[in-house]
Amino acid sequence: MRASKTCLHMAAGLIMTLALSRGVEAQTWSQDGPVPRTHTSAVYDANTDQMIIFGGLQGGTAGPLNDVWADQHVIADAQLAAPNLDWIPVFPTGTAPAARSGHSAFYDANSGNMVLFGGGTSSTTCLNDLWALEDANSSHGIPNWLELATAGTLPPARMNHNAVYDSSSNILIVFGGTNCAGGYLNDVWTLTNANGAGGTPAWTQLSPSGTAPAARENSSAIYDSTNRILTIYAGDNGGAGMSDVWTLANATGQSGTPQWTQVSPTGSKAPAARTGQSAVYDSVNNRMIIYGGINSVTGTGYLNDTWILSYANDIGGTPAWTALKVTGTAPLRRFHSAFYDSADNDMIVFGGDSQITTSPADDRTFVLSDANGLN
């Protein structure tokens, strides 16, 4: 049974131990868990209850990473009275992708692959490569890195973009980001055979009707796979955060012409404009849950509020904002990773920039129980 409801549980992901010297050996710090990072990717495998992370940007002057870690029993451990983490380092075979941050990744339960796209090796060098980590949950042996060759015209290189995965059609949908040269994007691309386990993945640029959202990076995206609707929220174009909401109907391009529509949610109060927040989707109740971020990409005022957007796909009723009141102290952070576990109604948050520690990059994992606000 869950120890407490509607609260934020914090589990420290960084445990440092000092080994006593033995002979000529010197004292050595060892780390139990991934180093603090931001702009990383975190995916979730419900079958094995694992969070799998790749890459990201370290704090200070340190560069990007290309390591892989798995947090085993992440949901089960969050339900303990004294939450604990079961981090293990993963050492895949094959040639690893270049170290990067601001990339996107998804996990495909059918193939067991984690697939990642793009990102940047620095703020001035963006990528548009595609990689699969085969057997990412380690259930059949040692995971293996495989760079995927693709058909079609490659999307422009980018980082800090959005990407959502339609598992029923095995299509990845990519929106926006920055090109690492001072430009911001609002284009939409699809990748068929996206899990890399079937035919050759193929890129196609979509040409939606309607007025497109302003070009941006660091926005949030959720996806309704039943109705094939993509919902985009906030982000920035190098300065102040945005507060707009958009839907893209027929987002895979398979069932008609995609169409952009700006949504005007109701509610007595709306979230402050922001960027670098996270969003997860409760598809059963059609609710988008957003958390954190910062008012401006160049600012220092980190946010820790949580909001619900009902009718998030703009179907069945008028979308409306509601502030979620939680017990416990919510962490202040931006550029973190988050996913939603529908079975337990939990939102899991990892890493990001934080004001908890002296060095902004963080390695903590937080779980928000009763995340959709309905219990």
pLDDT for 44-103, tens place per residue?
Answer: 999 999 999 999 999 777 899 999 999 999 999 887 777 778 899 999 999 999 999 999
Return the structure tokens found at 96: 């690893």
Domains and CATH numbers, the chain: 32-368 (2.120.10.80)
131-171 tens-digit pLDDT: 999 999 999 899 999 999 999 999 999 999 999 999 999 99
198-242 tens-digit pLDDT: 899 999 999 999 999 999 999 999 999 999 999 999 999 999 999
Look-up of token digits 């960084």: 14
Q: At 363, which amino acid appears?
A: D
pTM > 0.75: yes
The span from the CA of 156 to the CA of 166, in Å, is: 22
326-335 tens-digit pLDDT: 888 778 899 9
The span from the CA of 291 to the CA of 332, in Å, is: 10
Share of the chain above pLDDT 70, in %: 90
Give the sign of the dihedral formed by CA 211, CA 192, CA 102, CA 100: negative
Statement: residue 11 has pLDDT above 50 = no
111-128 tens-digit pLDDT: 999 999 999 999 999 999
Specify the long-range contacts of residues 136-139, CB closer than 8 Å, at least 24 apart. Answer: 136/43, 136/45, 136/52, 136/107, 136/112, 137/45, 137/47, 137/48, 137/50, 137/52, 137/70, 137/112, 138/70, 138/90, 139/47, 139/48, 139/112
280-311 tens-digit pLDDT: 999 999 999 999 999 988 877 789 999 999 99
Statement: residue 26 has pLDDT above 70 = no
CA 55-61-67 angle, to 5 degrees, is 15
Residue 123: per-residue pLDDT: 92
Return the structure tokens found at 275: 């960027």
Residue 86: per-residue pLDDT: 86
